[in-house]
Amino acid sequence: MATGKSTVYFCQNCGYESAKWMGQCPGCHEWNTFVEEIVDRAGSAKGKKAAAEAQVTKIADIRADLEERVTTDMQELDRVLGGGIVKGSLVLVGGDPGIGKSTLLLQVCRNLSLREYKVLYISGEESLQQIKIRAQRIGAFGDSLSLLCETNLDTIREVINRFKPQIIIIDSIQTMYHENVSSAPGSVSQIRETTGVLMQIAKGDGIAIFIVGHVTKDGVVAGPRVLEHMVDTVLYFEGDRHASYRILRGVKNRFGSTNEIGVFEMREDGLQEVDNPSEFMLKGRPEDASGSVVACSLEGTRPVLVEIQALVCRTNFGMPRRTAAGTDYNRVNLLMAVLEKRLGLSLGNCDAYVNIAGGIRMNEPAVDLGIVLAILSSYREIPIDEKTICFGEVGLSGEVRAVSMAAQRIQEAKKLGFTRCIIPTVCMDSVKEIKGIEIVGVSTVKDAERSCAFVQK
Ligand code: TYD
Ligand code: MG
């Protein structure tokens, strides 16, 4: 192994390491992503000493108490974390600039400081005054929260040793640097090194650390995916800049399930939890409008009802226009092809715009049936009964396929006052016990069209 300083090239997208510059990364096939960085491998002598002292442990000797969790007093966040903050865990919170990452974590600090947890908020981006101004909008804080404006990791390490906090926030990882690495903060080797040190602190001292990571325009955490591999939990904070709600999505979690979402609303005084996202998403639904239907998607363990809108109209140019907002464009095209073939609709000369109202993204196949019915309703210009919801995956031969957790979805619809559910026939068995709501099983898109209670005007 080489010792001393050497020059290597890193792919800024995936962290692939190479001795020479390359145009295309063999790891992620991106072009022009290699950047020269200087790494110092002098530390390997220390490693040998540690290796001589390393011990193995028998599995029977390891204590496997259920890991202790600290609640953040924010149910939505706790759910995404898998039940609260785990001691010694490293959590990455990614998201676009200005989406509310600092605000969210400052609120966590507030809740924990009110319960006298020793919290250290380390900011490399904002001054103490700026943080104070934000804090004043959020409310009263406990005394056990301390702030530090610092970007040098060695200094931070010292402060942590002295201060001994229980929870640390690093805002953001792109501003931190380690003196051993000579490349600029935010580069792959800096991020890799600083995250490595933070991981040692988290695991070694049993401190939970939250790291803020900025996202590039392509939607990945800036710099390397390396960061995602290293941490225990990856959360993404997303949302439409123009809408007030924000969604926190768990993408990776070593201590809980992924795909779990938490919904928040950005208010004047910080982020407010949204306990019932379905109600929130369905706010302002049009009445008696064609092309609108409510579908149910499962986000993690929670069913969320969303309104799917479609607008189908004759195209004025040779080439029909199609767009999909909030769902997969290719999926919409595929479903339209299924409708054309199986129901004989002539969609070839129609423009079609499909939108999931509220701006939330839903990629679960269970919304297929919703998309199909919305398109049908708009095409025929007949509204669908507004107390009806639907879910089901649609296959290429027009069959409506099973989806998971049908009963939970129906319960959610019932809770919100819906009176009729259109579901895949194969799911009927699992929902026999549910009373008080009409359940209609459909096995093909033809069935769905027949049974979807088009309200005749
Ligand atoms: P911020 O947490 O600074 O975002 P990030 O750290 O992800 O870059 O969020 C800043 C935005 O949130 C800013 O546009 C102002 C807005 N905001 C509110 O609307 N209400 C509030 O109480 C606070 C603190 C911020
Ligand atoms: Mg910030």
Give 37-54 as a 3 state SS string: EEEECCCHHHHHHHHHHC
Q: Are 378 and 311 in contact (CB under 8 A)?
A: yes
Give the separation between CA 449 and CA 412, rounded to whole angstroms. 23
Q: Nearest to residue 250, comparing CAs of 241, 263, 265?
A: 263
Query: Whose Cα sits closest to atom 14 in ligand 1?
Result: 98
Identify the weakest region by mean pLDDT among 47-61, 379-393, 409-423: 47-61
Rounded to the nearest whole angstrom, what is the distance from the C-alpha of residue 129 to the centroid of ligand 2? Answer: 14
Percent share of the chain, pLDDT over 90? 56
Q: How far is the CA of 160 from the centre of ligand 1 (A)?
A: 27
How many angstroms separate the CA atoms of 280 and 432, rounded? Answer: 29
Provide the pLDDT confidence category of residue 417 given band limits of 50, 70 and 90. Answer: very high
State yes or no: pLDDT of 457 exceeds 50: no
pLDDT band at 2 (very low <50, low <70, confident <90, very high): very low
**Count of Cβ atoms closer than 10 Å to residue 352 Cβ:** 24
Protein residues whose CB sits closer than 6 Å to any atom of ligand 1: 95, 97-103, 134, 137, 266, 268-270
Per-residue pLDDT for 288 more than 70? yes
Looking at per-residue pLDDT, the higher value among 295 and 186 belongs to 295
Whole-number pLDDT of residue 248:
92
Contacts of 217 (CB under 8 A, 6+ apart): none
Question: Ligand 2 center to residue 227 CA distance, Å?
Answer: 18
Residue-level pLDDT at 257: 82
Query: Ligand 1, closest atom to CA 237?
Result: 7
Residue 303 has pLDDT above 80, yes or no: yes
Query: How far is the CA of 333 from the CAs of 77, 327, 355, 430, in angstroms?
Result: 35, 11, 13, 31
Q: Which residues pair with 351 in a beta bridge?
A: 313
**d(C-alpha 277, C-alpha 79), whole Å:** 14
Share of the chain above pLDDT 70, in %: 93
pLDDT at 218: 61
- The whole-number pLDDT of residue 57 equals 86
Q: Which ligand 1 atom sits nearest the alpha carbon of residue 97? A: 8
Residue 370 one-letter amino acid: G
Tell which wins on pLDDT, 47 or 246: 246
Using the mean position of ligand 2's atoms as its centre, give its distance from the Cα of residue 126 in Å. Answer: 8
Average pLDDT over residues 431-455: 86
Question: Which of 73-87, 112-126, 140-154, 203-217 is the least confident region?
Answer: 203-217
Which helix (H) or strand (E) segment holds residue 102: the answer is helix 101-114
Categorize the per-residue pLDDT at 84 as very low, low, confident or very high, splitting at 50, 70 and 90: very high
